[in-house]
Chain A
Amino acid sequence: MTELAWISTAISNARPQAMGALLRYFRDLDAAEEAFQDACLRALKNWPKNGPPRDPAAWLIFVGRNSGIDAVRKRAKQAPMPEEDQISDLEDAESDMAERLDGEHYRDDILRLLFICCHPDLPATQQIAVALRIVSGITVKQIARAFLVGESAMEQRITRAKARIADAGVPFETPGPVERSERLAAVAAMVYLIFNEGYSTNGGEAPARAPLCEEAIRLARLLLRLFQAEPEIMGLTALLLLQHARAPARFDENGEIVLLENQDRSLWSRKMIDEGLALVDKALRHRKPGPYQVQAAIAALHARAAVAEDTDWAEIDLLYGLLEQMQPSPVVTLNRAVAVSKVRGPEAALAMIEPLEERLSGYFHFFGLRGGLLMQLGRNEEARVAFDRAIALANTAAEAAHIRIHIDRLIKESAEKSSLQKAR
Chain B
Amino acid sequence: MLYAILCYASEDVVCSWSKEQDDEVMAKLIDVQDKYAKAGRLGPVARLLPTTAATTLRKVKGEAVVLDGPFAETKEQFLGFYTLECRDLDEAVEFARELSEVNPSGGSYEIRPVSLFNPTKVAV
In the assembled complex, B89 has its CB within 8 A of some CB on chain A: no
Are B20's CB and A282's CB within 8 A? no
What is the number of contacts between chain A and chain B, taking CB atoms within 8 Å? 48
Chain B proximity mask over A264-306: 1 for CB below 8 Å, otherwise 0: 0000000100110011001001000000000000000000000
Q: How far is the CA of A275 from the CA of B17 in the complex (A)?
A: 17
A1 to B13, CA, bound (A): 16
The answer to whether A125 has its CB under 8 Å from any CB of chain B is no
Q: A5-B21, A9-B17, A9-B21 are in contact. Are A282 and B50 (CB under 8 A)?
A: no
Docked complex Cα distance between A54 and B18 (Å): 20
A323–B104 CA distance with the chains assembled, in angstroms: 44
How extensive is the interface on chain A, given as a class?
20 to 34
Pairs A–B under 8 Å by Cβ, sample size 22: A1-B21, A1-B24, A9-B16, A12-B16, A13-B13, A13-B16, A55-B75, A221-B52, A225-B11, A225-B12, A225-B52, A228-B52, A228-B68, A228-B69, A229-B69, A275-B50, A275-B53, A278-B53, A279-B52, A279-B53, A282-B53, A285-B55
What 1/0 flags go to B45-86 for Cβ under 8 Å of A?
A: 000011011010000000000101101000100000000000
Residues of B within 8 A of A (CB): 11-13, 15-18, 20-21, 24, 49-50, 52-53, 55, 66, 68-69, 71, 75, 104, 106
Q: Give the complex CA separation of A285 and B52 in angstroms.
A: 15
**In the complex, what residues of A have CB within 8 A of residue B13's CB?**
10, 13
Evaluate contact between A285 and B66: CB separation under 8 angstroms.
yes
Chain B residue at smallest Cβ distance from A8? B18
When C-beta atoms are compared, the residue in chain B nearest to A285 turns out to be B66
Closest 6 CB pairs of A and B: A13-B16, A278-B53, A229-B68, A224-B52, A228-B69, A275-B49
**How many Å from the CB of B79 to the closest CB on chain A?**
14
* Bound CA span A138–B106, Å: 26
Chain A residue with minimal CB distance to B19? A214
Q: Is A237 part of the contact surface with B, judged by Cβ < 8 Å? A: yes
